[in-house]
Amino acid sequence: MGKGGALSEGVLKKIVLSYTYVAIWIFLSFTVIVYNKYILDRKLYNWPYPISLTMIHMAFCSSLAYILVRIFKVVDPVTMSWDLYLKSVVPIGLLYSLSLWLSNSAYIYLSVSFIQMLKALMPVAVYTIGVLLKKEVFKSETMANMISISIGVGIAAYGEAKFDSWGVILQLGAVAFEATRLVMIQILLTSKGITLNPITSLYYVAPCCLVFLFFPWVFVEYPVLRESSSYHLDYVIFGTNSFCAFALNLAVFLLVGKTSALTMNVAGVVKDWLLIAFSWSVIMDTVTPINLFGYALAFLGVAYYNHSKLMALKAKDAQKKSQQPDDEEAGRLLEQREGENNGAKKSESQN
C-alpha cells in the first residue's frame, strides 16, 4: 500500500477510535444515570437514600483509584503538600459532595428527561460564577446567549407534566455547586499548575467527599436505614452500580485524553437527547411538545456556546503560531548581530 494509503488508514483508525471512546462514554454515562434513577425512584427499586448511594460510590471509587495509582501505577500521583491539599482539594471535595448529593436526590422527584433539560443550565451557571469570581470576561453577546438558554429551560419547565418544585430546587442547587466546583478547580488547582485527570481526581477528592457526606448521613439517613430492612445491601445491585460509576470516570479519562473536552461536550448533547428518548419510550415518562420546544431552544444556545468556545480556541492557537515565526526571525537577527559584533572585536584585537 502506498504512502497516501497508509496515511488514510491511520486517519481512519483515529476516527474509529475517537467514535469508539465517544460511544463508550455515552453508554456508561447513560447507564449510570438510568441505574441511579432505578435505585432511588420509589416506584422502581425503592431505595430513596441518595447520601448513602453517593457514599457507596465514593468508597468504591476511592478504593479502586488507590489501587490504580499506588499498586498498579497506571497514572502517577501529583506531588502535593498537606497545606495545598487542605486549601485546594478539600474545598473542591466539599462542593463535589454537595453536587452529587443534590443531583442524586433529584432523581426521587423528577423524571430523567426533565433532569437532562435542567442540566442545560450548566454553561449559564459556569459563565455567571466565572464572571463573578473574575475568571471570565463579561461579554454582552455571551450573556445574551446565556439568557436564551435560560429561557429555553424555563419553557421546558413550564411544559413539564410532573413538575415538582422541591426536585427542581435540588437539581438547580446541584448545577450551582457543580459550576462553582468547575470554576474553583481553575482558581485553586489549574492556576497553580496542578492538573488532575479523572483517576487522580478520584484518588484525592473521593475520600474528601466520603468524609463530608458522612456527617449529614448520620443525622438524615442512618436513623431511617437502621430501623428498616434497607440497611442490608444487595451487593450485586450496588456493586455493579458503583463499578459503572467508576468506569464512567475511566471513560472520561480516555475520551478527554484521546480527543478533547469539547468532544465530550458535544457527545453530552447526543447523550441528553438519547436519555430523553429513552425516558419517554421505555420508562414511560411524559414528554410534552412544550418540553421539547423549550429544550430545543436551550440546546441551540448550548451548541452556539460550544461553537464560540471552539472558535476562540482556534483563534488563540492561530495567534500563537503567527507569533512563532516572528520570534524565530528575532532570534536569527540577534544571532546575526552577535556574530557581527564578535567579528568586529576579533578584527580590532588583530589590529
Task: Report how far Cα 259 is from the mean position of its chain's Cα atoms.
Answer: 14
Q: How far apart are CA 229 and CA 219, in angstroms?
A: 18
So where are the chain's domains?
16-317
**CA 325: distance to chain centroid?**
36
Q: What is the pLDDT of residues 56-97, one digit of tens each?
A: 999 999 999 999 999 998 888 888 889 999 999 999 999 999
250: nearest Cα among 120, 72, 107: 72
Which alpha helices (DSSP H) does the chain contain, by range? 3-40, 50-66, 82-84, 90-109, 112-118, 122-132, 140-158, 165-188, 198-220, 222-226, 235-258, 261-281, 289-350
Give the model's pLDDT for residue 1: 47
Instruction: Provide the residue type at 14 as one letter.
Output: K
The residue that leads in pLDDT, 3 or 260, is 260
Encoded amino acid at 63, one letter? S
What are the cell numbers at 324? 512563532
- The single residue listed with the C-alpha cell 446567549 is 145
- Structural contact between residues 272 and 119, judged by C-beta atoms closer than 8 angstroms: yes
pLDDT score of 319 = 77
Q: CA 175, 177, 180, 181 torsion: positive or negative?
A: negative
* Residue type present at position 240: T
Q: 209: exposed, middle or buried (C-beta count within 10 Å: 0-12, 13-18, 19+)? A: buried
The amino acid at residue 194 is I
Question: Does residue 79 sit in helix, strand or coil?
Answer: coil
If one compares 237 and 255, the residue with the highest pLDDT of the two is 237
Burial of 237 (0-12, 13-18, 19+ CB in 10 A): middle
* pLDDT single digits (tens) 266-316: 778 788 888 999 888 888 888 999 999 999 999 999 888 888 887 887 787
Distance between CA 250 and CA 261 in Å, rounded? 14
Residue 324 pLDDT grade (very low, low, confident, very high; cuts 50, 70, 90) = low
Proportion of the chain above pLDDT 70, given as a percent? 85
The rounded radius of gyration (Å) of the Cα atoms in the chain is 25
Identify the pLDDT of residue 83: 92
339 vs 331: CA distance, rounded Å: 12
The phi-psi region of residue 95 (left if phi > 0; otherwise alpha if psi is between -120 and 50; otherwise beta) is alpha
191: DSSP letter: G
CA distance 236 to 229: 17
Cα 52–Cα 53–Cα 59 angle in degrees, nearest 5: 85
